[in-house]
Amino acid sequence: MLTIKRIKKTNIFIIIVLISLPFIIHSCFNLTSIKVIADENREKLEEIENRWNETGEIKNIINNKVYIIGDSRMEYLSNRGKEIEIPTNFSFIALGGTKIDWFTYKAIPLLEEKLDSKQENIKYHVIINMGVNDLNDYNDPLIHSENYFKLYYELASHYEDIDFYILSVNPVDMSIINKKIYNQKRTNIKIQKFNENLIKSIENSNLKNIKYCDSYNNVYFKTKDGLHYDKQTDQNIINYLTKDCLKYE
């Protein structure tokens, strides 16, 4: 009888083990998965920390916010998605075909709304790239330049704790644009006059928080329609902004 009881107990134990085995295996797999995920997260954190310590890149992005205002050139650039690398702390206020009226009555109010609700402990920067569409008329480019600078001056004077960067109006390809765009009046001579007058206005203003960024003479440009740039040129512009234009704290 004792032997029979012992056999029954053994069989019951085996049955319990067999029933429990899938759950034990599943639990072990979950523990292994959790450990793998934890290890991966630890590696990512270590990578970020190392980059931070070596270059300060992560810290700069976290502590600095950049708003970029522009026309179709900046709108196209901002819509490239994964085609080019755009810093995550960049935000765009840009619309194709726009001129000084849009900048005055749409872009500036949007920008002011963002700047008036800015976060503490973050340094704000504003890059402005307007003017190429205004130059598509018969007016003197100096008039356009002066009208824009009046608005730049008002912004920089009002927001003294924010750095403003005026990005040069960049060139057109005259051999292409006249064939692609109807009633075309923009020329690189007009663009250069516009830029040169902006430089003088900024230098004479004595404002400490406004700077001219000369991508016109420091970036290689290539276009398909004579006005808008290809992918590599847009990446060149972003690289110029991050390396040579913006000054993070």
- pLDDT given at position 210: 98
Per DSSP, the three-state class of 79 is coil
- pLDDT given at position 249: 75
Closest CA to 210 of 169, 167, 248, 146: 167
Q: Give the span between the Cα atoms of 207 and 125, in whole angstroms.
A: 15
Closest CA to 133 of 80, 194, 77: 194
pTM of the full predicted structure? 0.79
Instruction: Say which amino acid occupies 15.
Output: I
Residue 5 — left, alpha, or beta (φ > 0 → left; ψ -120 to 50 → alpha)? Answer: alpha
Instruction: Say which amino acid occupies 196.
Output: E
Q: Where are the alpha helices (DSSP H) in the chain?
A: 2-55, 57-63, 72-78, 100-102, 108-115, 141-158, 174-180, 188-205, 231-240
**pLDDT, tens digit only, all 249 positions of the chain:** 434 444 444 454 444 444 454 444 444 434 333 334 444 455 655 565 565 556 667 778 889 999 999 999 999 999 998 899 999 999 999 999 999 999 999 999 999 999 999 898 999 999 999 999 999 999 999 999 999 999 999 999 999 999 999 999 999 999 999 988 888 999 999 999 999 999 999 999 999 999 999 999 999 999 989 999 999 999 999 999 999 999 997
- pLDDT given at position 47: 61
Give the chain's end-to-end CA distance (angstroms, integer). 87
- pLDDT given at position 44: 53
Q: In which residue are the tokens 């901002």 written?
A: 78
